[in-house]
Amino acid sequence: MNLKRLKQAEAEFLARYPGGFNHPDMVTIGKKHNVGKMTEQAKELLNKKAFQKTGPVLDSLIKIVSRSSMVSMFEKPKFRDYVNGLDRDEREALAMGFQLLLHGKQQRGFEIVIDILARGKLAKWSLITICPNYMKPLDEVFVKPTTAKNVIKYLELENLDYKPRPSWAFYEEFRRQILAMKEKVDPSISPSNAAFTGFLMMSLGDHQI
């Protein structure tokens, strides 16, 4: 990573918003995304026990995606209609994929979910990473394509070749580097991984990418 550029972005952000995400303007923005409430709902609706029943847990997945402010309004109805249109075997496989992604062997779950969503041309970064991000806001990351590409370029992150189709290799490395960068900045701009990537998105918008 280009630590100099990261620290410059941090200094500029804190100069504009003293206190980081505790600044009134950031608190207002945070309320629009309601990450705290979404995290509570995800943990309640997508706990391990919930995956014992395929139909209800898929309804819960649709609910979380539909309520998320970070998923495109165009992707929400497509995801809902596609999941509801799957046959029994596909629905069970999708539920199993999300169960592994959230509670078991992540890589296997990631690959199952992507395989099924790809059949409906819905293998999107937002749809694969939003639920893990809500379930474990300090461990997982939400991958927003434009932000990810700009962060990689501006902060000169190595070993990351962004592709529109999600891959476990990219996600694992991107997550590792996001967590590493988060350790280099003031805690007030990294209360969660979503907040930290939000800081990056806002900060890089001030620089020519």
pLDDT digits (tens, 9 = 90+) for 20-69: 888 888 888 777 777 888 999 999 999 999 999 999 999 999 999 999 98
Helical segments of the chain, H only = 3-16, 24-33, 35-45, 54-67, 75-85, 88-103, 106-118, 125-135, 145-154, 168-182, 193-204
pLDDT of residue 205: 64
Q: Which residues in 34-61 are b (16+ Cβ under 10 Å) and which e?
A: ebeebbebbeebbeeebbeebeebbebb
Is the Cβ–Cβ distance between 97 and 90 less than 8 Å?
A: no
pLDDT of residue 209: 47
Nearest to 128 by CA among 162, 171, 90: 171
Nearest to 198 by CA among 184, 180, 176, 178: 178
pLDDT of residue 30: 74
Per domain, the residue ranges of the chain are 3-33+141-204, 37-123
Q: What is the DSSP string of 1-57?
A: --HHHHHHHHHHHHHHSTTGGGSHHHHHHHHHHTHHHHHHHHHHHTSGGGGGSHHHH
Count CA atoms closer than 13 A to 27's CA, side-chain side.
5
pLDDT of residue 74: 93
Q: What is the spatial distance between Cα 162 and Cα 176, in angstroms, rounded to a whole number?
A: 15
Which residues of the chain fall short of a pLDDT of 70?
205-209
